[in-house]
Amino acid sequence: MNSQTLTQNNRKYDARQIARFYRLRPWLGWVRASTIVLNFIWFIFGLKWDDFMGVAERNKLKRAVQLRKILVRLGPTFIKVGQALSTRPDLIRKDFLEELIKLQDQLPPFDNAIALRQIQSELGHPVKEMFSELSPVPVAAASLGQVYRGRLHTGEEVAVKVQRPNLRPILSLDLYLMRWAASWLSPWLPLNLGHDLTLIVDEFGTKLFEEIDYLNEGRNAERFATNFRNSPDVKVPAIYWRYTSTRVLTLEWLNGFKLTDTESIIAAGIDPQEIIQIAVTTGLQQLLEYGFFHADPHPGNLFAMPDGRMGYIDFGMMDQLSETTKETLVDAVVHLINKDYTDLAGDYVKLGFLTPDTDIRPIVPALEALLGDAINRNVGEFNFKTITDEFSKLMYEFPFRVPAKFALIIRSLVTQEGIALSLNPNFKIVEVAYPYVARRLLTGESAQLRRRLINVLFKDGTFQWERLENMIAIARTDNNFDLLPTAQMGLQYLLSDEGQFLQQQLIIALTEDDRLHAEEVQRLWNLVKDDLNPTRLLSAAFGVFTQFSRERVAAILPPFTTSSSVNNT
């Protein structure tokens, strides 16, 4: 059995099967490991020699180019690692970062003749029978494949994505060696860093194998499109299944500008700030609403379209969050902004950053010390990179660890923030994120979101007037937010059976400390009166009370009214 047989028998990543295969063929691992080690030893030697000779500053660009070329030479697995590092300005110094960014869309293509043969063999027909036009050379080359621009005989303009040859054996061997290295290194690293190292490699391997299954990518694209089917801001290309297989993907061609091409975006009459708003809001929707998110949103996969929409492509690397995780992420954002560091530490436990048996008491003041200053400056001055920078300090002092799944989420968020910063250097992610979360809580129709809103508004049994004011003020910074439907929904909830507890709590809140909280109510009214003018408010309230009365009458009538008596009447 050869390596091709191994990968053809199992299209999904299976660490045990791969390990069994290569343990019986150790020479394959030795040769590949030697190649990898020699490349990096030579690179590290160069860095040390520069330091020794005092020319490190002069040669830094040369070394950055050398690193990029090493990753390209070592192949797809290492290119993907480089791409991941290119989105981490908190880990990689600027000169290296600028070179690694080139790995996103400036890679050498593979032989054109091989690509054309693969299209024909995968789809079972000559290329000319399927496409009336096909670019003579690829228009883009990535780590795992390359893209041709073409046209079907029916007239539709398409992108034809063709996978690099012999990918699965290459990826399998590299992942086997990476996993072996991770298991060997783990005992020598601090517990929080080494604990999940092999799990992170496995998560990376799982996503890589999913990414090279183009049928899976097509299904992901259609699911993503379904989630955003009612959004006027998002465009997802259609998949042409007749011309798609495991290693060839044909999809609708999208015209647009890379999000890093600010000059072209402005020249096309598109407002960069609106594109940022769409990018961050849709990213938050993926994480907090749908739970199905694009885990590789680098600039080569996102486009500003001429009509102002955001175009998404490349759905190979996606991930799914559970309902519990989505809800806890909402909690964490709210607790962070409200400076509830005890609850925030509890969120870290729920999300897996801390084990359930961790004593969070010493962690709470550390969180407050590290994050408090950043938040106290201003919500608008707080960004995600601040969180990652400060959080990395805690990793060495307390038993924090990054769960494998959250490595993808963090990468996705850091990448999106980096794209936004390239369009607007003064961009702050929380300026968009917190209004979105506030709006979600204020307009949430699910019981879980209503409970979370109540938890935000009440602390230790006391109503938090200031929090409600802040939440409404911040939510109103979103131009799409209309306070009246929110007020109407709140009134409906108060009149429902589920809202009886809240009724009692609000009465207590209005009269607590033996005084009527008229001042707080007046301040709140001053904040919302422009949105809730008396005519609109009375009309909305009348509608709610009418609906409430009908429901109450309907609840009483059934015992006394039969279907026959209704018909006779």
DSSP SS3 for 357:
coil
Residue whose C-alpha is closest to residue 473's, from 382, 337, 349: 337
Please say whether the beta carbons of 289 and 277 come within 8 A. no
Token pair belonging to 143: 């780590």
Is 271 one of the catalytic residues?
A: no
Look at the chain and count its residues: 569
Residue whose C-alpha is closest to residue 405's, from 155, 207, 273, 133: 207
Q: Which member of 14, 202, 296, 340 is catalytic?
A: 296
Distance in angstroms (rounded) separating the CA atoms of residues 412 and 420: 12
Residue whose C-alpha is closest to residue 419's, from 520, 235, 283: 283
Main-chain dihedrals φ then ψ at residue 159, nearest 5 degrees: -110, 130
Please say whether the beta carbons of 417 and 255 come within 8 A. no
Instruction: Report the amino acid identity of residue 294.
Output: H
Distance in angstroms (rounded) separating the CA atoms of residues 408 and 294: 9
Cβ neighbours for 68, distance < 8 A, ≥ 6 positions apart: 82, 99, 100, 102, 103
Distance in angstroms (rounded) separating the CA atoms of residues 499 and 501: 5
Distance in angstroms (rounded) separating the CA atoms of residues 523 and 469: 8
Cβ neighbours for 477, distance < 8 A, ≥ 6 positions apart: 431, 435
Cβ neighbours for 78, distance < 8 A, ≥ 6 positions apart: 36, 70, 71, 174
State the pairing for strand pair 131-134/145-152: antiparallel
Residue whose C-alpha is closest to residue 209's, from 345, 95, 318, 69: 318
* Residues labelled catalytic: 296
